[in-house]
Amino acid sequence: MFKSYDLIKKLEPKIGEDEARDLIEFIEAYRGDGATKADIELLKIDGEKTRNALGVKIDRTKSEQKKKKPKKGKKNTQKK
């Protein structure tokens, strides 16, 4: 792996010394902030679990609403 100094020296002829230093400083400041493939896979799994759990809750709520809703054409015969 290159050291910062080595990278600056390689970039200097192409983009200039100040720009090379700025670029390396920027990269070093954000190193480690990127997501790995494993991170993305974990997010996919978590998203799928959340979607499934939400689907179960939606189905349960629909089922409960059907039970509470009186059928059309029949009068409510409950005593008050």
Residue carrying structure tokens 């979607």: 51
CA atoms of 79 and 37, how far apart (whole Å): 62
User: 8: how many CB neighbours lie within 10 A of its CB?
Assistant: 19
Model confidence pLDDT, tens digit, residues 9-18: 888 898 998 9
State how far Cα 66 lies from the chain centre: 34
Please, what is the angle between helix 17-30 and helix 4-15, to 10°? 130
Asked if the model's pLDDT at residue 80 lies above 90, the reply is no
Look at residue 3 in the predicted model and tell me its pLDDT: 80
* pLDDT 10s digits, 17-33: 899 899 888 888 877 77
Give the phi and the psi of residue 70 in degrees, each rounded to 5: -70, 145
pLDDT at 52 over 90: yes
pTM higher than the cut 0.95: no
